[in-house]
């Protein structure tokens, strides 16, 4: 009975919250200007954390907690993602059964290009992420796709990020209404509350970066994808951007979407775009 009571309180609360927002918020015909929005996004974080250097935001919790940073600096001498980078390098060089390699699928042989993903594909009319491009490359060469969340996919993206370290995110939104829509959809996903806990991505990563959630320190949304993929001690291994999205969703008690669903692709587009100019720092290590 106790449990049911709390559920009802929960739903009553949602209902009240809905009422509170029901008062129509008159927003002048929203004209989307991603460049201005990205600037506002960045300013929010630099104003909230005046002591954190802009490029340091990519280091997530370490940019906001001195103790964690000390441990991390020591850990970086022997980073736990090293095995993944090596495995990724080996996999990347190994030809497919048809003799071609990943390098044939990517500009510049796949080296130093992480900062350009995700990009908007005009032919498909959708956002293409690096993880998606990797699996498409495999499929185009007659190989079975990898799981999007860890292992091989994490190793490949770890290697590709490693070769791109320090390069600033350079995400473009072409003059195409579909690209703008993808950006807008990603933004909406980011701010939309979901799950029984009624959290949006922004609840943690905009409103509370640097704060603790249980034993963890929340990372700021600015630069949050620059360090992907990450070795998480909590996961006992590597995880991709897909894995991060899926776990974030289920932690708020929302049933996660399938990896590389349109929503996640758009979300990655939005999050990467607003971090334009910040350097790639992946692969990263997080507790």
Q: Could you tell me how many residues of this chain bind another protein (CB under 8 A)?
A: 56
Nearer to another protein, 106 or 264 (CB): 264
* Under rule CB under 8 A, residue 25 binds another protein: yes
How far is residue 268's CA from residue 187's CA, in Å, rounded to a whole number?
9
* Under rule CB under 8 A, residue 11 binds another protein: yes
Element (H, E) at 244: helix 241-251
Q: Which of residues 68-87 bind another protein (CB under 8 A)?
A: 77-78, 80, 82-83, 86-87
Phi/psi class of residue 240: alpha, beta or left (left: φ > 0; alpha: ψ in -120 to 50)? beta
How far is residue 243's CA from residue 240's CA, in Å, rounded to a whole number?
5
- Burial degree of 4 (CB within 10 A; 0-12, 13-18, 19+): exposed
* Under rule CB under 8 A, residue 143 binds another protein: no
* Under rule CB under 8 A, residue 16 binds another protein: yes
CB atoms within 10 A of CB 218: 20
DSSP state for residue 108 in the 8-state scheme: G
Q: Which residues are catalytic?
A: 248
* Under rule CB under 8 A, residue 93 binds another protein: no
Nearer to another protein, 1 or 144 (CB): 1
How far is residue 84's CA from residue 90's CA, in Å, rounded to a whole number?
10
> Site residues (CB under 8 A) for another protein?
1, 3-5, 7-18, 21-22, 24-25, 27, 37, 40-41, 44, 77-78, 80, 82-83, 86-87, 90, 187-188, 191-196, 198, 200, 202-203, 206-207, 233, 236-237, 250, 253-255, 257, 263
């Amino acid at each position: 009975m106790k449990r049911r009571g709390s559920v009802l309180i929960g739903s009553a609360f949602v209902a009240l919250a809905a009422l509170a927002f029901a008062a129509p918020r008159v927003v002048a015909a929203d004209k989307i200007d991603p460049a201005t929005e990205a600037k506002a996004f960045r300013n929010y974080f630099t104003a909230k954390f005046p002591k954190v250097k802009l490029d340091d935001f990519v280091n997530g919790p370490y940019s906001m907690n001195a103790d964690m940073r000390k441990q991390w600096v020591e850990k970086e001498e022997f980073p736990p993602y090293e095995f993944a980078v090596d495995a990724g390098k080996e996999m990347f060089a190994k030809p497919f059964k048809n003799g071609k390699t990943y390098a044939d699928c990517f500009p510049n042989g796949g080296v130093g290009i992480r900062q350009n993903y995700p990009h908007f594909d005009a032919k498909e009319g959708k956002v293409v992420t690096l993880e998606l491009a990797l699996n498409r490359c495999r499929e185009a060469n007659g190989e079975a796709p990898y799981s999007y969340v860890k292992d091989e996919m994490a190793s490949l993206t770890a290697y590709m990020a490693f070769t791109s370290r320090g390069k600033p995110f350079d995400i473009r939104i072409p003059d195409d209404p579909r690209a703008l829509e993808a950006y807008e959809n990603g933004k909406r996903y980011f701010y939309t509350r979901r799950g029984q806990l009624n959290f949006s991505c922004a609840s943690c990563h905009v409103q509370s970066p640097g704060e603790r959630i249980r034993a963890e320190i929340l990372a700021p949304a600015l630069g949050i994808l620059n360090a992907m993929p990450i070795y998480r001690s909590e996961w006992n291994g590597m995880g991709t951007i897909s894995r991060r999205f899926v776990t974030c969703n289920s932690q708020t008690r929302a049933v996660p979407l399938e990896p590389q669903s349109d929503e996640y692709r758009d979300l990655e587009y939005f999050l990467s775009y607003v971090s334009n100019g910040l350097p790639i720092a992946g692969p990263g290590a997080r507790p």
